[in-house]
Amino acid sequence: MKIEFENHTIECNVLYGSRKKLSIHIDSTGHITVKAPNDTSNETIRSAVERHGKRILEKLQAIAAARQAPKTREYQDEGKFLHLGKYYFLHELIDTKERNEDELKNNLKKFYFTSCKKIVAERVKIYQAQLKVKPKSIEVVESRTKWGSCSSDKHLTFNYRLAMAPIEVIDYVVVHELCHLHHMNHDRSFWRRVGSIMPDYKEKEEFLARYGQAMTL
């Protein structure tokens, strides 16, 4: 099914089945699947997609941006860098006037650290209330291997590069680490807890696995 929304064509694959509610899923490649109860009308499906149209387009744009990651970083005004799932010119993120390349690199990293700290603090506050947990401390760090971690003493760390990811992907990493305050391993109970807050967490995991290499300096 093709649906026109704000001068864009949203193409969906519709799957009917014995379910009670209609749901919309977008995988890491940008493929959209609408799962609908049997006998759901085309108008109902169209209305649901249009209602979530803005969020759908934002997610598709984030996936497209990650796919188009530049192979070399250009530390100049017209160089492009990811922030919250979208590409921006360097001068839109930091002051580039009278700065050499090393200064630009350092200032951009500082920008990401600051942005990540602010966003993570906001999202932790939201989700810790839902999960009824509270970390002892939160830190933003530089890591090549982990997006986040939770220690046995309830200390959470988050990779500064998360500031490059779409907000819903940041939310997944925040929820993941907060759930470790209940379950330190990745057993069934842990994933049930994650899924209770974020049913589509597998899509977020797949996004990081597929496009995480684009979120770097």
pLDDT for 152 equals: 87
Per-residue pLDDT tens for 82-117? Answer: 999 988 999 999 998 888 889 999 999 999 999 999
Query: In Å, what is the CA distance from 137 to each residue of 129, 180, 201?
Result: 16, 14, 24
pLDDT for 59 equals: 83
| 13 lies in the same domain as 59 | yes
Q: Which of 67, 99, 123 is the last residue of a domain?
A: 67
**Mean pLDDT (whole number) for 207-214:** 83
Specify the number of domains making up the chain: 2
Among candidate residues 84, 83, 81, the one with its CA nearest the CA of residue 72: 81
In the structure, what pLDDT confidence band is assigned to residue 70 with cuts at 50, 70 and 90? Answer: low
Per-residue pLDDT tens for 74-86? Answer: 777 778 899 999 8
Q: How far apart are the first and last CA of the chain?
A: 39
| 38 lies in the same domain as 144 | no
Domain range for 187 is: 71-217
Strand partners, 14: 34
Rg of the Cα atoms in the chain: 19
pLDDT for 68 equals: 63
pLDDT for 8 equals: 87
| 115 lies in the same domain as 186 | yes
Reported for 210-214, long-range contacts at CB under 8 A and 24+ positions apart, including other chains, are 210/28, 210/29, 210/66, 211/28, 211/63, 211/66, 211/67, 211/69, 212/147, 213/69, 214/66, 214/67, 214/69, 214/82, 214/164
